[in-house]
Amino acid sequence: MPRAPRPSTPARRRRPARAAGAFALAAVLLTAGCGASPGTDKDAKATASAPAGFPVTVDNCGVKTTYDRPPSRVVTIHQHPAELMLSLGLKDRMVGTAFPDSAVLPELREDFASVPELAKREPSFEAILEAEPDFVYGGYGSAFAEKEGRSRKAFADAGIDTHLNREYCGRDKVTMEDTYEEIRVIGRIFGVSERAGRLVADLGARVDKAAAAVEDAPAVPVFVYDSGDKSAFTAGGKGLGTDLIRLAGGKNVFSDLDEVFGDVSWEQVVERRPEVIAIYDYAGAGSVEEKKKFLLSQPALADVPAVREKRFVVLPLTATLVGVRSAYIVEDLARGLHPASFR
């Protein structure tokens, strides 16, 4: 989608009425001024230097945006974009967060708490506008739900740039490489490419170390249990979770499901005989203990190896998405799948 024309200042974008008054006053001053040239303002803008490395053009999920300078007022919707921003040292650019769904990484908690929380779930379009952002960064596709008035076009029409986490761009398959590239792209947009490079190197080293510890071990069949009782809502092959399981020495038994997340029958779970169940933990879907109790109480699942042996690993949902946490969770998952490799 072509990028909407970008007003020259954030104030003009956010306060049309006040901006109109400013234009009228400017017109009077130019008319009454001492021979001011009509081209003076234009020439000044033309000679104003852009920050080093700018302009930057990014094609994000088919929306092409050119940034003349780094965004300065950012709203993040969902937790993983917020944690990525904070990990890049961009707290000073953040004016609002929304939809926290698990405990924040310990080293980021203080910074996260210092940013205003706009809503417990996705905020309304109007609530976002109140924060006066010039950039909105969404973690799930629901961040820009058209039926709720938050489409990317609606933001563009308001003069606000948007970015959607690449996991929801409809790609064939998301891997850890997408996490690294997401960090690099955000680094470019905010003019902190060197920081992004250092962060990618650190996260990559964490993943490589954990993967090396289990590379010779046989892959463990893993079933991801997100939620559901009549059917099981699980992680499919398109999502990052499948690659995290692979890196940790496992195999997602529903990697053939052509979705990021999807429903499967309990009969299918029984047929695929997972040896470990990875429980996704997040607010609003029942506690981990409630999920374990449900799985252990189902007669149909009694002979599933993971249920029979009570082999569960718990993964914060935020850690299984494209963001900084995914690198941290590989070791935790690898220890759960191959405890002998870490003794």
Residue found by looking up tokens 């040239």 in the block: 37
Cβ partners under 8 Å of residue 78, min gap 6: 98, 99, 101, 122, 138, 139, 140, 143, 165
Mean pLDDT of the chain: 87
Mean pLDDT to the nearest integer, 242-267: 96
**Nearest in space to 69 (alpha carbons), one of 89, 92, 53, 90:** 53
Alpha-carbon separation of residue 219 from 17, 251, 318 (angstroms): 62, 6, 24
What is the pLDDT at residue 48?
55
Domains delineated in the chain: 10-164 (3.40.50.1980), 216-342 (3.40.50.1980)
Question: Is the model's pLDDT at 17 over the cut of 70?
Answer: no
Angle at the Cα of 121 (from 189 to 136), degrees rounded to 5? 20
Measured between alpha carbons, how far is 28 from 12 in angstroms, rounded to an integer?
18
What's the pLDDT tens digit per position in 76-91? 999 999 999 999 999 9
Q: What percent of the chain has pLDDT over 90?
A: 77
Token pair for residue 67?
Answer: 């940034």
* C-alpha torsion angle, residues 259, 264, 270, 274 (rounded to 10): 30
What is the pLDDT at residue 283?
80
Record the pTM.
0.82
Q: What percent of the chain has pLDDT over 70?
A: 86
Measured between alpha carbons, how far is 207 from 176 in angstroms, rounded to an integer?
9
Confidence of residue 29 (pLDDT cuts 50, 70, 90): very low
